[in-house]
Amino acid sequence: MQSEKPTVLILCTGNSCRSHLAEGILGAAAGDFLNVVSAGSKPAGYVHPLAIAAMKEIGIDISHHSSKHLSQFLSGKIETVITVCGNLDQGCPVFPGQLNRHHWPFEDPAHATGTDEEKLEVFRRVRNEIRRTFTAYADGRRDGLRATTD
């Protein structure tokens, strides 16, 4: 019998950009041993098209993601909560079963200005920053799993 994968909840205020970038990247890097979801305290109601485009460039499809309110997860078992914006860090609720909490703030690419190409450049930069952080996190979690099975 396979044990249930621990759930990592990635939170941001709007749940339209950063949290979806992180969810897609962590899901791709660690979805075999983690259940990765995202939500927001004031969901925008959509996933930003430039977030979808930036992720498509690295082969990760988040076009099926949806913007969700964090209350959807208050009754579920959440092992780790990761906040990716400054606004939510202080007001983050505690979730049932929560063992870990991390706060890794990133610039909000939704506030980028300029041409579409200039905005996309901001999304790419934030995506790459998130990718470095969450790939390292996935690698660390994977190493921890290996250490417990060796």
Active site residues: 12, 85, 92
User: Who contacts 12 (Cβ-Cβ below 8 Å, separation ≥6)?
Assistant: 18, 19, 38, 40, 83, 84, 85, 88
Question: What is the Cα–Cα distance from 106 to 85, expressed in whole angstroms?
Answer: 6
Helices 49-56/116-149 angle, 10° precision: 60
Question: What is the Cα–Cα distance from 79 to 139, expressed in whole angstroms?
Answer: 17
